[in-house]
Chains A and B, each alone.
Chain A
Amino acid sequence: AQSVTQLGSHVSVSEGALVLLRCNYSSSVPPYLFWYVQYPNQGLQLLLKYTSAATLVKGINGFEAEFKKSETSFHLTKPSAHMSDAAEYFCAVKEASNTGKLIFGQGTTLQVKP
């Protein structure tokens, strides 16, 4: 069965500092991986996705993630945090089935301090 684990339910950084949100996955088949962001009382917005093309994936708002098969990781990074980056972040893997439903990690709350 596929699964996703996000290490750290809460991450706090200073404005301008590096953002690193960790995600490890478990999958017996080549995975499709996603990072979504959720602002309070809103739905999820796709930040970026990995679909077996380039291992370094660039997304919106300056975020990027690197797929590392040897480490079964797909960590999300941003060189310089902005106050507007404060939100909930979810890593997800697409289930290898006909439904293609997403399996989500527990989520990581990013706090950005001025």
Chain B
Amino acid sequence: GAVVSQHPSRVICKSGTSVKIECRSLDFQATTMFWYRQFPKQSLMLMATSNEGSKATYEQGVEKDKFLINHASLTLSTLTVTSAHPEDSSFYICSARFPLHTEAFFGQGTRLTVV
């Protein structure tokens, strides 16, 4: 079946630096990719929806200048957390939608720790 690969699985960075997280679809071309943030013991919070070749659509309350999303190809979307601060520490998960599939496929997630 379709596979979504997310990298890195864990990253620790210093406050003020930027971190890039990659989300790749390995078997199919993804028409749409989604980025979520998950706090401990909580559900997934949708941050943004991205379509290949167009600007991402951010959910209300999500700072688009801080969380930069690029969907340059049908198999790759990236999330860059700019000028990271400790409060950005979280679990970030991407998912992809593929043609002819009703369900979304999820990456393995990235645990970001900002120190």
B42 touches A107 (CB 8 A): yes
Are A101's CB and B91's CB within 8 A?
Answer: no
Please classify how large the interface on chain B is, using the bins under 10, 10 to 19, 20 to 34, 35 or more: 20 to 34
Say yes or no for B6: interface residue by CB 8 A criterion.
yes
List residues of A (13-56) whose CB comes within 8 Å of B's CBs: 32, 34, 36, 41-46, 49, 51
CB < 8 Å: which of B32, B43, B108 contacts A43? B108
> Is B111 within 8 A of A41, CB to CB?
yes
> Contacting B102 at CB < 8 Å: which of A51, A99, A105, A107?
A51
In the complex, A105→B43 CA distance in Å? Answer: 7
- Residue-by-residue, is A83-114 near B (CB-CB < 8 Å gives 1, otherwise 0)? 00000001000100001111011110100000
Distance in Å: Cβ of B112 to nearest Cβ of chain A: 12
Q: Are A94 and B102 in contact (CB under 8 A)?
A: yes
User: Residues of A at under 8 Å CB distance from B?
Assistant: 32, 34, 36, 41-46, 49, 51, 90, 94, 99-102, 104-107, 109
Q: Residues of B with Cβ closer than 8 Å to A?
A: 4, 6, 9, 32, 34, 41-44, 46, 49, 57, 91, 93, 95, 97, 102-109, 111
